[in-house]
C-alpha cells in the first residue's frame, strides 16, 4: 500500500482535534497511522485482522 497516495479516513469523533488515528483500507490490507505524525509510518495488517480488532473494540 502506497501511504502517500492512499486515501486516509479520520474518525468523525475526533472533530477538529488531531489526537486520533487514521485508517486507510484496500481490499486486502488496512493501514493505521497517528494523525499527529502521518509521516512517521503506519501499521499495516490484513483486512480480516483489522475487522476482528474493530469488532472486539466495539463490543467493549
Q: What is the pLDDT along the chain (60 residues), one digit of tens a residue?
A: 776 777 898 877 666 666 788 999 988 999 999 888 888 999 999 999 999 998 998 898
Q: What is the pTM of this model?
A: 0.76
The H or E element spanning position 56 is: helix 47-59
Looking at residue 56, its pLDDT comes to: 94
Dist CA 35 CA 18 (whole Å)? 6
Cell numbers representing residue 25 in the block? 483500507
The C-alpha atoms of residue 21 and residue 14 are separated, in whole angstroms, by: 9
Strand partners, 9: 23
Amino acid at each position: 500500500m502506497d501511504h502517500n497516495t492512499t486515501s486516509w479516513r479520520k474518525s468523525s469523533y475526533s472533530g477538529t482535534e488531531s489526537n486520533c488515528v487514521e485508517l486507510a483500507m484496500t481490499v486486502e490490507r488496512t493501514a493505521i497511522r497517528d494523525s499527529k505524525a502521518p509521516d512517521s509510518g503506519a501499521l499495516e495488517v490484513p483486512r480480516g485482522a483489522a475487522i476482528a480488532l474493530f469488532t472486539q473494540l466495539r463490543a467493549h
